Homo-oligomer: A and B are copies of this chain.
Amino acid sequence: MTYRAPVKEILFYLTEVLDAGRISQTERFAAATGDMIKAILGEAARMSEEVLAPLNVPGDLHPAKLVDGSVQCSPGYDTGYKVISEGGWAGMSGDPKFGGMGLPLTLTSCVGEMMSGACLSLALNPLMTQGQIEALEHHANDEIKSLYLPKLISGQWTGTMNLTEAGAGSDVGALRTKAEDNGDGTYSVTGQKIFISWGDHDLAENICHLVLARLPDAVAGTKGISLFLVPKFLPDTDGTPNVANNAHAISLEHKLGLHGSPTAIMEFAGATGWMVGAEGGGMAAMFTMMNNARIGVGVQGLSQAEAATQKALEYAMDRKQGRSPIEGGTGTILDHADVRRNIMTMKTLTASARAVILDAAISVDLSRALNGDDGQVQAARGAFLTPIAKAFGTDIGCEVADIGVQVHGGMGYIEETGAAQYYRDVRVTAIYEGTNGIQAMDLVGRKLMDGGVAAFGLLAEIRHTAAIAEEAAPDLAAFLAGAEASLSATVRWMLEAEINDRFAGAAPFLRAFGLTLGGHYLLKAAMAGPVRMPLAEFHIRQTMKQVDGLCHAACEGASTLYALDADALSA
């Protein structure tokens, strides 16, 4: 089957559950009216289903490859990318001054889900560009902006992020790439970066690398890091990319999945670059970009969950097998309770992930559009939700894709079926843009530095949902309130605990928060559309029953984890 973009489902959540209309009520996003959103989602759906989805399997079977120093993309990717760029999808949230549509992140996320659900490998390309556009809008000087932004927003050029080095992954501060001042406003950048998504390709006329590097006299650690823009081809005075820079992909990784997306080792050999933002401000600039990129990666996880669910459901509805255990069954495996459990789990987790992610994006949009306290409240809310959106969204992506393989039985293990590709492709989303462990540490560390204000604000929203559901669904309301109480107690414990004790419980805490938010959204959805009540019921009465246990685990502290030393562990 072909991927079906879940436009109806997305619109339902935006309007009926998440009150996304608040975005278009702001001045900044006044243009993003309901009608416009519908039109854009419809267009994106059409492109995703018709143009991108057919490229998913070819990209997997025929990975991008490095030939004579240049990357050749998977078959059909050139056409696909052309449609993306000419449709303005890369720059849809970019500043209108430079040709963008200035649309909210919420809408970009919805479109991103559809593009990624259709073809994750190719959709990663404009996602990287979007991050770069955002970084340049915030941190670049006017000259760079006016030269680069129009090209990036139009999709003529694409962007990459160059952080990781062999000895510096999650610990970015350990990086060693050097940048030396040439005295003419440019810098010579020298070093090797690894895991560079779309580091090289043949889809666009130029590739702009944002590279973290150190000046020769920079202090150690993250404060000595600056950000540089290093294009593959140096633009001449009228912006034409004419002269090859000393920035090259020297090899591509052989990965578990995402084969259509070339992951390069980049060699910068005295490459010419321009500083973006302040000296020593590289990490700050990177964080601007990374914050929303984290939501974008959550979207990637979600997208694969949705696609895997569609595929599994179609198979289950088609595959005849065994005596039906129910009266009036169809004779397909969907009649079987265990398959039903799998499908219900897939659907409810996917819906939960989507709602968390879109809710995070809405807060980010509102934080940009609203002034004063309102804006700050939304900023803190969005910041708290962001690591959950990333880690919960991508964990769900991996889990749902895994269940999808299982629903297919033996066929799931056969690559031609396609279920395994989702399972392989999505796996990286739990790793990159900050591993999900790092996200959890961010949640219980930095995101509780406000004394729990943002966390308790969200918990109050959950209590509110429980309160208004009390009449229509008293048992679900009670279970939701119970989970909220466990979470509240856990937040209070975290606020009192030493930082490493928090870190020890970070992963179960994030999981518990995600699952409970899922119950909150699904219950809201069920009240807005009663046909959805069984989904809320399944999630709250079954999956969410893990929350208490997770909260207990979250409050155990670090000591047990260190009771065995390395020798004892490896004995």
**Which A residues have a C-beta under 8 Å from some C-beta of B?**
8, 164, 167-171, 174, 194-195, 253-257, 310, 313-314, 317, 320-323, 325-326, 330, 334, 336-344, 347, 398, 402, 405-406, 409-410, 412-416, 420, 423-424, 427-428, 430-432, 435-438, 440-441, 499-500, 503-504, 506-508, 531, 533-535, 537-538, 541-543, 545-550, 552-553, 556, 558, 560-564, 566, 568-571
Contact = CB atoms under 8 A, between A and B. Distances in A.
Given A337-B561, A415-B254, A549-B549, A499 B325 contact: yes
A164 B410 contact: yes
The CB with the most chain B CB atoms within 10 A, among A164, A533, A537, A552, is that of A552
Contact of A549 (B310, B398, B548): B548
Given A321-B171, A415-B256, A541 B560 contact: yes
B504 A341 contact: yes
12 contacts: A8-B571, A170-B409, A253-B414, A254-B414, A256-B420, A336-B437, A337-B558, A338-B437, A339-B437, A342-B437, A344-B561, A549-B549
A452 B541 CA distance: 26
Given A343-B569, A410-B432, A563 B549 contact: no
The CB with the most chain B CB atoms within 10 A, among A436, A552, A564, A571, is that of A564
Copy number of this protein in the oligomer? 2
Given A256-B413, A406-B435, 17 more contacts: A171-B322, A174-B322, A254-B416, A255-B415, A313-B570, A336-B437, A340-B558, A341-B504, A344-B561, A409-B435, A413-B427, A413-B428, A534-B563, A541-B553, A545-B549, A545-B552, A547-B549
The CB with the most chain B CB atoms within 10 A, among A257, A338, A412, A563, is that of A338
A564 B534 contact: yes
B534 A542 contact: no
Contacts of A547: 549
Instruction: Report the 4 A-B pairs with minimum CB-CB distance, sorted nearest first.
Output: A545-B549, A534-B563, A340-B561, A338-B437
A541 B556 contact: yes
B431 A412 contact: yes
B256 A423 contact: yes
Given A326-B500, A415-B255, A561-B538, A317 B566 contact: yes
Contacts of A531: 564, 568
Contacts of A569: 313, 334, 343, 347
Nearest to A429: B413
A337 B535 contact: no
A399 to B, nearest CB: 9
A568 B546 CA distance: 27
Contacts of A317: 566, 570
A65 B169 CA distance: 38
A545 B551 CA distance: 9
A314 B569 CA distance: 10
A325 B317 CA distance: 51
B566 A542 contact: no
B169 A321 contact: yes
Contact of A553 (B326, B507, B542, B560): B542
A114 B537 CA distance: 44
A507 B538 contact: no
A560 B541 CA distance: 10
A292 to B, nearest CB: 21
Nearest to A321: B171
A57 B412 CA distance: 23
A326 B503 CA distance: 12
A172 to B, nearest CB: 10
A427 B405 contact: yes
A265 to B, nearest CB: 11
A507 B338 CA distance: 7
B406 A437 contact: yes
A338 B391 CA distance: 14
B552 A504 contact: no
The CB with the most chain B CB atoms within 10 A, among A428, A556, A569, is that of A569
Contacts of A548: 545, 548-549
A420 B398 CA distance: 14
A420 B499 CA distance: 32
Contacts of A436: 406
A321 B344 CA distance: 40
A203 to B, nearest CB: 22
A454 to B, nearest CB: 21
B431 A321 contact: no
A512 to B, nearest CB: 11
A264 to B, nearest CB: 12
Contacts of A314: 570
Contacts of A545: 548-550, 552-553
Nearest to A570: B313
A164 B424 CA distance: 26
Contacts of A405: 256, 427, 431
Given A254-B414, A321-B171, A337 B560 contact: no
